[in-house]
Structure 1
Amino acid sequence: MTKTLQADLASGALAEAIADIAEDAARLILPYWRADTAVETKADASPVTEADRAAEALIVTRLAALYPGIQTVAEEAVATAGAPDQAEAWFWLIDPLDGTRGFVEGRESYTVNIALIHDGAPVAGVVVAPATATTWVSAAGEGAGVLRRRFGEPWQTVRVRDRPTTPVALLSHSMTDDEAGRLAARHGCAQWQGMDSSLKFCLIAEGRFDAYPRTGPTSEWDTAAGQAVLEAAGGRVLGGDGQPLRYGKPSFLNGPFVALGG
């Protein structure tokens, strides 16, 4: 089955497949949005809803049907049963609803995320923004760029922009204004904007922003699909050691990182 996975990765069939799956998960999520959906609190104090669980079940089931035997690491499964002891050479990282807190509060910047990891590197990824019916997926082939579409429309290729004279950063809503301003300035950005979810990676990938620094802890499923998209668009996601952020770390947790455009 790994041979099929690799062949589909090279041909672009895998990118199309995971884009379709993520869009179907997005359609499943939408009826819960701004509908007074019940919210529970997980052990780590983060929120979870039935939308998270239903989307994850759909994604996991569909991926297993297409590529049986490939390890899956998915947020809600880990919250319930714990993280696997170690990552396999090939595995999926899934965040079925990134930005749940903003989703519950009615904001638009929540996403569906699926990434394929090989030997610690994200080799394919898709991010879908259900509220705007927009999908970003890493294209097949080195330097092929990122494909973006509105649901049902043709794909368009997008890339990072050259770093402008006045670069603009995207930062987590969890930071205070003073913290955000200092962090943006540390990466050469006098201006910044707060935003939820992995959408930040995608907006850098399509050339609208320039940097996304993060100091607080994140889980690998929060970043893997966004990193795959941004790297395909010509950007970088660097860990605290200055090297590309890697996956399959203990407990599937990230340290500090910065996502950069051109």
Structure 2
Amino acid sequence: MEFLDTVLAAHRAYLLGWNIGEPGDPDLLTYRSDVPHAPLNGVLRVTGRTPQDALTEARRRLDGVLRVWWVGPDSDAGTADGLASLGAVDVARLPIMTVAIGDAADAPTPAGLHISESTDLDTFVPAYARVSGIPAEGVAAAIDREKAFSGDGTVLRLAGRLDDRIVGTAVAWLSHGLVTLYFVGTQPEQRRRGIGAAMTRAALDLAGERGVRTAALTSTPVGEPVYRRLGFRTVGTFRLLTF
């Protein structure tokens, strides 16, 4: 459980880097970006509070924004079912996956794909927004939040380009001795070419060059087979809920 606690702490640290709301309490950890995309606003952990009390306070803090509840191994047992009894509905059950970077499988880089760090957020953010569900009207806010991002770690942003156009993205978050991956995505017209696997492998290599030995991520159902082929294994599960 100690290792999983570290993975969860790194995940919390990343999402708190988006927060422009009031600071969360240890027993009800919330973050608010004001980007109209539910995963970028929400509740990260509930401990020592009844579901009804947590819901009342979370509604106050997160009023007016789309949000989710990340209920995982760091929340009190029974939290998800308690929220469901109050009307919450399941969004997804997402595996928390990890791999030792040295044990990860290789992934060939597709012909013509050039992967490098990106600091141009005005082009990088729209690329990942298109495949992650951030609506067009939320892109400007996402760019602003990325530019103001402040967290207990280091953010590395990787762009994969074909003919100078971004077709793949990955965000590598270095915190708590791990690299945690976010916004790994491929533009729809370029899928099934191995770009997602190549972006993931490039992020692992970049973290490894900085002395990091372990990688983690929370996978969508679409991405899970790709990550398993690279050697990632499930160490826990998030149950995502919303009201």
Q: What TM-score results when the alignment is normalised by the length of structure 1? A: 0.24
TM-score for both structures, normalised by structure 2: 0.26
